[in-house]
Amino acid sequence: MTRVPSRRIDSVIDAVGNTPLVRLRHVAKDAPGVEVYAKLELANPGGSVKDRAALRMMQDALADGRLTRDKTLIDSTSGNTGVAYSMLGAALGVRVKLVMPMNVSKPRKDIARAFGTEIIFSDPMEGSDGAIRDVRAIVAASPDTYFYPDQYANPSNPLAHYDGTGREILDAVGDKITHFVAGLGTTGTMMGTTRRLKEHARPIRCVAVEPSEALHGLEGLKHLESSLVPPIYDPRIPDEILHVTTEDGWTMADRLAREEGLHVGHSSGANVFAAVKIAERAQRESGGGCVVVIVCDRGDRYFAPMKWERRYVW
């Protein structure tokens, strides 16, 4: 067993990033010549990939004066970014207010509130787009009260992944990686990480994951054709977009728990489903390769009953 030295840090914010990669051997068993690695963003202190973007947006705004202790940070979120803002706000002494769709899972609402965050609920039928419209109206009515980072349009979001996620992946598997897979939500992970990977000497095919249907159960992912497209999104960045059904994302999340010991959310299940398909394709075409896929968050944030549950009784 490899021993990783322990480290001392001054604040919880110093625990963000440097997440591990774990080899997925069982769910990718039909592609034995291809290494598939999950980038475990659930290992961030807030439990998701969104810790990275939230921290970078807050630090950049504190540095240039857009965010001060006299202002309240407000943003729209489907949950994980809200948890990240809330945790980091508590650590940095920043007040936080969030606009979330009413149907966001109860654990994420409860976690955000545990840090002292105020939550305003938007129409659940309007999804993340409804929350965006509501937060814009609140800020427009009282612009001096709030700092609105706007995670969908803030360049610090993809920069967090350009400087962090992409660099870490190259440090770990840069000499062998052939494919990178991430889902499209705010799109910051795909935009920033891909830009960094494309600077590497070897070609790396970067694949974006999107829900197959406009009405879906892959919380955190956006069906871009039917949604407000994030301003940070550049359609020229991904080499390919794979569409994944709700059923396939949920089933893969189940398999990861039972076969790999990884209890993850459904968007992570969708990402890994796509990564396995890519690995199987690489196995057929070249007999080898190395795929890195983003595992966004933990599955315990989805325990509360949801509309899309098929057979689950918690």
Cα–Cα distance for residue pair 162/129, rounded to 1 Å: 26
Closest to 237 (Cα-Cα) out of 179, 187, 194, 200? 194
Helices 246-255 and 266-285, packing angle to 10 deg? 90
Q: Are 52 and 156 in contact (CB under 8 A)?
A: no
Tokens encoding 199: 């600077």
* Active-site residue, selected from the candidate residues 39, 50, 97, 109: 50
Residue 301 burial by Cβ neighbours in a 10 Å radius (0-12, 13-18, 19+) = buried
Cα–Cα distance for residue pair 171/169, rounded to 1 Å: 5
Cα–Cα distance for residue pair 275/290, rounded to 1 Å: 10
**In the annotation, is 277 catalytic?**
no
Closest to 275 (Cα-Cα) out of 180, 187, 184, 205? 180
> Which residues are the active-site residues?
50
